[in-house]
C-alpha cells in the first residue's frame, strides 16, 4: 500500500470531523466531495457570511454547514472570543466582530473540541492561518515553537519500495535558534509516529559532518542535538550530518562511523528556513517526489495550512493527516491529562 493510500485508509478508520473555512474556493469543494465519497473524514463547512453566493452549494453537499451569522453558538462564541482577547491581550485580526471570520470561527470550534481539526490556506495566507490557530488553539503543552513539515514521498533508494522522508522546517521559522531546532525535531518525530507510523531517525543537517568544519551554524546544530538528547533521550538522533551522510549508508559509514542515524535518517531537520524550503522544492521538482504538506507542528490541536497553489488532491491528503494528528492527540490524552492550550 502506498503512503497516500495508507494515510487515507487510517484516517477513514479514525472517523474525525475536520472543518473547512474556504468554502467559496472550488478546489475546497472538489476536495470535500471526494472526502465525503471516500469517507476519509467528516467535513464540517464553515461559511463566510459575506460570501452568500457559496452558501447554496455548501448546503447541497449533505454535510454539516455552519453559518457564523446564524449559528446557535454565535453568542457563546462571541463571549469566548472576548475572553480570549482579554486573556492574551491581543486580537488575531483587526476586525470588529471575530465571529464574522470563518477561519477564526472554524479554529474556535477546534479549540472547544466541537471538531477535531481544521484545514485552510488555499485562499488565506500562511500568516493568517497560523495567527488564527495560535490565538484560538494555542501551543501544545510544553511546546514553545510552531513549525511545519513536508512528507516527501520519494522513489526507492535504500529499500525496494517508495520511502517517506520528513523535511522540517520548510515554511515557518526563518532562523531557528538551537532551542527552536530541538523543538522542531522533537515535534517532527512525534508527528511522524502518528502520520507515517514508523520509528523516527532524526538527522540534524549541516554543511559539516561530525566536526569536519566549524562555524556558527554548525555549532548551533551541535547544540540543538545536545538539547534533544537531554529533552527526549529516547529519540534516535544525531548531528551535525551532511545530507549524503544522513541518507546514504555507504557515505554515512565513512563520514560518521558509529552514528545511530547516518545512512538511515528519515527525519531531516534543516538549519534554516532557506535550506528547508529550497531542499523540498528541489527534491519535489528534480526527483519528482510527492510533497505532502505543509503540516503544522507544535499546536495543541491540529490546524493545518495549505499552499495557495494546492490542488483538491493536496487538500484531501492534508485533511487525512489532520485526522491522524487528531487521533494521535486523543490517544496521548487518554494516557494522561491534556495540557493547557494557552498561547
| Mean residue pLDDT across the chain | 92
Secondary structure element (H or E) that encloses residue 79, with its range:
helix 74-88
Reply yes or no on whether the pLDDT at 80 is more than 50. Answer: yes
Instruction: Answer yes or no: is 292 within a domain.
Output: no
**What is the model's pTM?**
0.90
24 pLDDT band, cuts 50/70/90, is very high
Angle at alpha carbon of residue 327, lines to 107 and 265, rounded to 5°: 105
Position 314 scores a pLDDT of: 94
Q: Are residues 270 and 315 in the same domain?
A: no
- Contact between 39 and 14 (Cβ < 8 Å): no
* C-alpha span between 36 and 13 (Å, rounded): 14
Reply yes or no on whether the pLDDT at 88 is more than 80. Answer: yes
331 pLDDT band, cuts 50/70/90, is low
For the chain, give the percent of residues with pLDDT over 70: 96
Position 334 scores a pLDDT of: 53
Number of domains in the chain: 2
Reply yes or no on whether the pLDDT at 142 is more than 60. Answer: yes
Measure CA 123 to chain center.
18
93 pLDDT band, cuts 50/70/90, is confident
Q: Are residues 9 and 104 in the same domain?
A: yes
Weakest mean pLDDT among 19-23, 204-208, 330-334: 330-334
Weakest mean pLDDT among 12-26, 87-101, 194-208, 292-306: 87-101
Mean pLDDT value of segment 180-208 = 95
Q: Are residues 134 and 152 in the same domain?
A: no
Reply yes or no on whether the pLDDT at 338 is more than 50. Answer: no
- Between the CA of residue 324 and those of 112, 149, 194, what are the distances in Å? 19, 15, 6
Mean pLDDT value of segment 289-318 = 94
Position 92 scores a pLDDT of: 85
Q: Are residues 156 and 27 in the same domain?
A: no
* Predicted confidence (pLDDT) per residue in 249-273, tens digit: 999 999 999 999 999 999 999 999 9
> What's the domain range around 319?
3-138+300-334
Instruction: Answer yes or no: is 184 within a domain.
Output: yes
Domain of residue 95, CATH code: 3.40.50.10950
Helices 312-334, 178-195: axis angle to 10 degrees equals 100
Q: Are residues 163 and 217 in the same domain?
A: yes
Instruction: Answer yes or no: is 78 within a domain.
Output: yes
Q: Are residues 184 and 233 in the same domain?
A: yes
Which residue do the cell numbers 487518554 mark?
Answer: 334
Q: Are residues 128 and 171 in the same domain?
A: no
Q: Are residues 208 and 269 in the same domain?
A: yes
- Contact between 46 and 69 (Cβ < 8 Å): no
Mean pLDDT value of segment 111-139 = 94
pLDDT greater at residue 333 or residue 98? 98
Q: Are residues 30 and 96 in the same domain?
A: yes
For the chain, give the percent of residues with pLDDT over 90: 81
Q: Are residues 121 and 163 in the same domain?
A: no
- Which has the closest alpha carbon to 54: 33, 27, 23? 23
Amino acid at each position: 500500500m502506498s503512503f497516500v493510500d495508507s494515510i487515507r485508509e487510517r484516517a477513514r478508520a479514525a472517523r474525525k470531523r475536520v472543518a473547512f473555512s474556504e468554502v467559496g474556493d472550488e478546489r475546497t469543494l472538489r476536495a470535500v466531495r471526494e472526502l465525503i465519497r471516500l469517507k476519509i473524514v467528516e467535513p464540517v463547512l464553515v461559511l463566510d457570511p459575506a460570501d452568500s453566493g457559496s452558501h447554496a452549494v455548501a448546503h447541497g453537499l449533505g454535510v454539516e454547514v455552519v453559518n457564523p451569522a446564524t449559528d446557535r453558538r454565535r453568542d457563546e462564541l462571541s463571549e469566548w472570543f472576548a475572553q480570549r482577547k482579554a486573556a492574551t491581550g491581543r486580537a488575531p485580526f483587526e476586525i470588529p466582530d471575530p465571529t464574522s471570520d470563518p477561519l477564526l470561527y472554524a479554529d474556535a470550534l477546534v479549540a472547544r473540541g466541537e471538531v477535531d481539526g481544521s484545514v485552510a490556506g488555499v485562499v488565506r495566507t500562511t500568516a493568517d492561518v497560523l495567527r488564527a490557530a495560535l490565538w484560538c488553539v494555542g501551543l501544545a503543552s510544553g511546546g514553545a515553537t510552531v513549525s511545519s513539515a513536508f512528507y516527501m514521498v520519494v522513489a526507492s533508494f535504500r529499500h525496494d519500495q517508495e520511502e517517506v522522508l520528513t523535511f522540517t522546517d520548510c515554511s515557518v521559522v526563518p532562523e531557528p535558534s538551537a532551542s527552536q531546532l530541538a523543538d522542531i525535531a522533537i515535534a517532527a518525530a512525534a508527528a511522524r509516529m502518528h502520520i507515517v507510523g514508523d520509528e523516527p531517525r532524526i538527522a540534524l543537517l549541516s554543511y559539516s559532518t561530525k566536526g569536519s568544519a566549524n562555524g556558527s551554524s554548525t555549532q548551533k546544530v551541535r547544540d540543538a542535538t545536545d538539547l534533544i538528547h537531554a529533552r527526549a533521550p529516547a529519540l534516535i538522533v544525531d548531528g551535525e550530518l551532511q545530507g549524503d551522510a544522513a541518507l546514504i549508508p555507504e557515505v554515512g559509514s565513512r563520514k560518521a562511523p558509529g552514528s545511530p542515524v547516518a545512512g538511515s535518517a528519515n527525519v531531516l531537520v534543516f538549519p534554516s528556513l532557506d535550506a528547508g524550503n529550497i531542499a523540498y522544492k528541489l527534491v519535489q521538482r528534480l526527483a519528482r517526489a510527492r510533497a505532502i504538506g505543509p503540516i503544522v507542528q507544535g499546536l495543541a490541536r491540529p490546524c493545518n495550512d495549505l499552499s495557495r497553489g494546492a490542488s483538491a488532491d493536496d487538500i484531501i491528503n492534508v485533511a487525512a493527516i489532520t485526522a491522524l494528528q487528531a487521533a494521535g492527540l486523543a490517544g496521548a490524552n487518554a494516557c494522561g491529562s491534556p495540557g493547557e492550550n494557552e498561547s
